[in-house]
Amino acid sequence: MKTMTKLEHLEQVAELLNTHDNFAILTHRFPDGDTLGSAYALCGMLQQKGKKAKVLFNGQLLPEYHFLDNSVEHSDFQAETFVSVDVAEEKLLGELAQYKDNILVAIDHHETHRPFAEYYYVEPDSASAGEIIFALAKVMNIDFTKAISNAIYTAVSTDTGCFRYSSVTVKTHLIAAELIQYGCENYKIDKAMFDTVPKNKKQLEAYILTNMEYYHNDEIALIYLSQKTLATFGFTNETVGSTSYITRTIMGVKVGITVRELDQTTFKISVRTNDGVSASKICNQFHGGGHDAAAGCTIHASDISTAKQQLLTVVETYL
């Protein structure tokens, strides 16, 4: 069995990075702005130190993140050192699971992190993995270029809902302010991430609002997206991006649930909560995890009705 060692200080992470080369940085399945921003920032940091590095992501890179991919150097080399960022457990590696036995260090901020790497550094008090990467850059004496600053800002902003979530701290705002001082394009990034969507995404949002299901005196709002529905609007599970933010905005909703069909018996669940209800505790019941206000899991059931009932039974115990 592989020995897994918890690292207590970022200096230990920096030492591991300094003594290795030829890096491949791994992101989680259905990659979001935090895992991608953190990965591309770390990639740029390693390249600045004269090392070879590249980012490996699951599926297709959404258009709004292309600027991150364009911000790093690309070269062909055989990866020897694997690092994961914002990956809470092995099963979230998705198609990158082929590298699971070779991961040197996992950098994460989820309190529900389940160790899988040779070394792991977890900072659950950070609102995003991007905050950890920012601190790591300081330890490594990195020059905060516009590209690195943009990548870290993308990670921090997207994982905090543009600084609106309960996970946001004074540290979060100070990091953002410092990145702006370094020249990050905060307005451009926030507009692209939060205010600009393609026409078909707006059409999908309209469908979601029309077909939202409510339970428990309207304290639970549930979205169900089958593969057929996504295809109707020109999406797949890999290209649709997040829709879970919609439930969080409805007055009176304490638990917002998004259920996506991966196949006929497998359903990806995203839970968003308000008013102190723990999304992490809900998802832990299905061997998932995350944060108090945002978490995820996977449910295996004979059909969608059974999956919904299993989920609602658990959710109602927390209301």
The pLDDT tens digits of the residues spanning 230-259 come to 999 999 998 998 899 899 889 999 999 999
Q: Give me the mean pLDDT over the 256-283 stretch.
A: 94
Residue for token pair 């599970």: 237
Cβ 162 vs Cβ 193: under 8 Å: yes
DSSP-assigned beta bridge partners for residue 297: 269
Q: Give me the mean pLDDT over the 86-105 stretch.
A: 95
Cβ 36 vs Cβ 72: under 8 Å: no
Residue 302: which residues within 8 A CB-CB, separation 6 or more?
A: 265
Please measure the distance between the N-terminal and C-terminal CA atoms of the chain and give it in whole angstroms.
Answer: 41
- pLDDT classification of 2: cutoffs 50, 70, 90: confident
* Domains of the chain with bracketed CATH: 5-195 (3.90.1640.10), 199-316 (3.10.310.30)
Phi-psi group of 255: left, alpha or beta (phi > 0 → left; psi -120 to 50 → alpha; rest → beta):
beta
Whether 1 shows a pLDDT value over 70: the answer reads no
Q: Is 102 exposed, middle or buried (0-12, 13-18, 19+ CB in 10 A)?
A: middle
pLDDT of residue 188: 97
pLDDT of residue 149: 98
- pLDDT classification of 10: cutoffs 50, 70, 90: very high
Sign of CA dihedral 112, 319, 167, 194: positive
Please state, in angstroms and rounded to a whole number, the distance separating the CA atoms of residues 98 and 57. Answer: 13
Q: Give me the mean pLDDT over the 8-37 stretch.
A: 97
pLDDT of residue 249: 87
Cβ 81 vs Cβ 21: under 8 Å: yes
- Span 199-231, pLDDT tens digits: 999 999 999 999 999 999 999 999 999 999 999
- Span 135-173, pLDDT tens digits: 999 999 999 999 999 999 999 999 999 999 889 999 999
